[in-house]
Amino acid sequence: MKSLYTCRRRLRGFSLVELMVALTIGLIILAAVSTLFVNSKQTYTTQDSLARLQENARFAMHFLIKDLRLAGYYGCMSDITPDSVSSTLNGSDFVYNLQIPLEGVNNISGTVASPTGTWYPSANTTMPSNAIPGTDSVAIRLADAGSLISLDGNMNTKSDVLTVNVTTGLIVNDIIMIADCSSAEILQITQINTTVPHLVHNQGAGTPGNSKDDLSKTYSKSTGPAGTRIMKFMTHQYFIRTGASGNPALFRQANNAAAVELVDGIENLQILYGKDTDNDKVPNIYLKAGDAGLTSTADWGAVVSVRIGILARTLNDPVTGQPKETDRDTGIYDVDGDGTNELNNP
């Protein structure tokens, strides 16, 4: 008698329930990983934006502080008076006013297309082109020490050429300052001779041009720190204007040249000037340009420090990392730390 033997294969694989559980767990893990990635990306973008904001703010401060420390640097002169500084240039251009090393505008008004305001103490009303209303501007006049060369021969007459040791870095029409420890004046180069290095300063040529051939005196060659020096003369105007990216930015205009964008993302600039009222070289009070007590040339001669307030913004959206549009923060901030609020977007 034979017995019937049946071979049954074991069932292998996942059941539908097991498959659904596995898929659910996988989706949960995928969602967690995706969330972690997105959060990490947003954190990185935010940190990167903040780092760039801080970097831009530091750069803006660097440019301003560097020039402010040199305001009124006219060689080795220790005192600037109407009798000690002069100009041979035509006209009385705001840019070339040697007697006022530092002046400012408080809260430019009007519109971007037509900004209005007053420079103190000169009372000039020509504002930087397209400056954003509600922001300050400052003009700093100085001799560029980086371009310093020495007078290499005595002047025989007031109209004599300026014999120098080198002419490197100078070009025709440059505005230069010649200074010793007792006086300084500015003039325009009309010709440069490189064979026997000397500078010519004839009347009439160039813009604005020299009003006369004669300088205020005959300068002499001398050695040591008290020697006669020649440097480029600069007036730097700092202000806020919309930059190439569509964001507000810090601009600088050198003399009458086109303004140059220095730092993107600077929305507001507010400046307070520290005035010494008791001749101890320490500020007793901080005032805005045009405040009572800070309007005349004598008032500004007592300014011994400057307090700068900057409102900077991130250039990219902290979530998407993409460049922002031209939206601006409309909040109210005490930008200059004087206890009053400056509306950022008036």
For the stretch 156-171, pLDDT in tens is: 999 999 999 999 899 9
Q: Between residues 243 and 319, which one has the greater pLDDT? A: 243
Among the residue ranges 2-11, 210-219, 334-343, the one predicted with the least confidence is: 2-11
Residue 235 has pLDDT above 80, yes or no: yes
Q: How many whole angstroms from its chain centre is CA 11? A: 79
β-pair type (115-116, 184-188) = unpaired
Collapsing DSSP to helix, strand or coil, 88 comes out as coil
- In 3D space, the residue among 166, 138, 133 whose CA is nearest the CA of residue 151 turns out to be 166
- In 3D space, the residue among 154, 163, 164 whose CA is nearest the CA of residue 221 turns out to be 154
**Domains of the chain by residue range:** 52-343
- In 3D space, the residue among 99, 98, 108 whose CA is nearest the CA of residue 128 turns out to be 108
Average pLDDT value for the chain: 87
Model's pTM, two decimal places? 0.83
> In this predicted model, what pLDDT tens digit does every residue of 96-143 receive, in sequence order?
998 899 999 999 999 999 999 999 999 999 999 999 999 999 999 999
Phi, psi of 45 (to 5 degrees): -60, -40
pLDDT at 319: 59
Q: What is the distance between the alpha carbons of residues 314 and 53, in angstroms, rounded to a whole number?
A: 5
Q: Between residues 26 and 230, which one has the greater pLDDT? A: 230
Q: Between residues 175 and 325, which one has the greater pLDDT? A: 175
Q: What is the distance between the alpha carbons of residues 98 and 142, in angstroms, rounded to a whole number?
A: 9
pLDDT at 346: 41
Name the β-bridge partners of 271.
308
Distance in angstroms between the alpha carbons of the first and the last residue of the chain: 109
Residue 45 has pLDDT above 80, yes or no: no
Q: What is the distance between the alpha carbons of residues 162 and 202, in angstroms, rounded to a whole number?
A: 11
Phi, psi of 26 (to 5 degrees): -60, -40
As to burial, measured by CB atoms within 10 angstroms (0-12 exposed, 13-18 middle, 19+ buried), residue 138 is buried
